[in-house]
Amino acid sequence: MSDAMEADQLQALAARAISRPLVTHIYTADPSAHVFEGAVYVYPSHDIDAGIPFNDDGDHFGMQDYHVLRMDSPEGEAVDCGVALHVDDVPWASRQMWAPDAACRDGRYYLYFPARDAAGTFRIGVATGERPEGPFSAEPEPIPGSYSIDPAVFGDADGAFYMYFGGLWGGQLQQYRDNVHDPDGREPDDDAPALGPKVARLTEDMTHFAETPREVAILDADGAPLRAGDHERRYFEAPWLHKYGGRYYLSYSTGNTHLLCYAIGDDPYGPFTFQGTILRPVVGWTTHHSIVEFGGRWWLYYHDSLLSGGVTHLRSVKVAPLQHDAAGRIATLDPYGG
């Protein structure tokens, strides 16, 4: 959907919206939700108007810090736990604290975040803390071998943790092939296999990749890789992994077609077979989410730009119930009840 929306259009969408912003005193986006210590902790981007003109690289997404939100339940109120980490306290980062995620191992908490380094290249950093809400103390350097944006960390039942990451265009994923950087790199030709997110297992101390990042394959129903020109289905950004019925669900944004989609596999490394749409387009260009189980039900945390009147870099996190049917398929949601 476009940035500029008429007041009557906005009002109509607001009336039909399936959920309300978790908080309204700040703008929040890109929610990564986890259950820690019996509560839901949401790790969002903290959107601001940094006064930077719009461009295709997303420079107007000029976020500077992270606030963590706590909810006793997805149906309850969200409490802003305050600033958990600021770009000024990250030695290697220069700007654009984009979509974060968090993990807990052995009672210690880890905040993972992308930011541009001094040269303007996106890298992924980690900061550690004693509490789910922080504060977090950043490692002096980004994770060696990391690049691009949108880290999502999945802890499997066997104790292994995996980071999924990568986002196209402003997130620079198109500049990498086999983990090698080419600043002039582009998305593959339309009939070539699409780029996938990357995945790497984390070391036991949670601060490094234990292996070289691997490409994640997303296949169609015939087992063929999705094509780069298949913009309704190909991976763009915002990976998330959840496990349901013993299978691995990779969900993600299709970017310029504004869908949240999912694919299912039998291994955290994939391959994953495309299944369908989770969420139809929201108000605002970006769509980004997480999926979490709480109280025996499943929840979709997502964002839209309704509260800001459609300003694409001023978003608000929301939450809605998510249904898996008997076969494990996820029912498609319309954010405005259509």
Q: Which residues are catalytic?
A: 30, 237
Shortest reach from residue 245's CB to ligand FUB, in Å? 27
Shortest reach from residue 32's CB to ligand FUB, in Å? 11
Q: Does 195 bind ligand FUB (CB under 6 A)?
A: no
Cis peptide before 132 (omega within 30 of 0): no
Judged by CB, which is closer to ligand FUB: 62, or 220? 62
Find the DSSP H helices in the chain: 7-16
Q: Does 288 bind ligand FUB (CB under 6 A)?
A: yes
- Retrieve residue 166's tokens: 């990568």
Q: Does 304 bind ligand FUB (CB under 6 A)?
A: no
> CA–CA separation, 56 vs 41, rounded Å?
32
Shortest reach from residue 182's CB to ligand FUB, in Å? 21
Site track 126-165 with ligand FUB (rule: CB under 6 A), x = hit? -----------------------xx---------------
Q: Does 237 bind ligand FUB (CB under 6 A)?
A: yes
Q: Residues for the chain: how many in total?
A: 338
Residues 6+ apart with CB under 8 A from 174: 168, 185, 186, 187, 195
Q: Which of 326, 325, 307 is nearest to 316 (CA)?
A: 307
Judged by CB, which is closer to ligand FUB: 162, or 240? 240
Residue 80 and residue 25 in contact, taking contact as beta carbons nearer than 8 Å: yes
Question: Which residues within the stretch 53-92 sit at the binding site for ligand FUB (CB under 6 A)?
Answer: 61
Residue 225 φ/ψ, nearest 5 degrees: -60, 140
Q: Does 215 bind ligand FUB (CB under 6 A)?
A: no
Judged by CB, which is closer to ligand FUB: 30, or 215? 30
- Retrieve residue 263's tokens: 């694919």
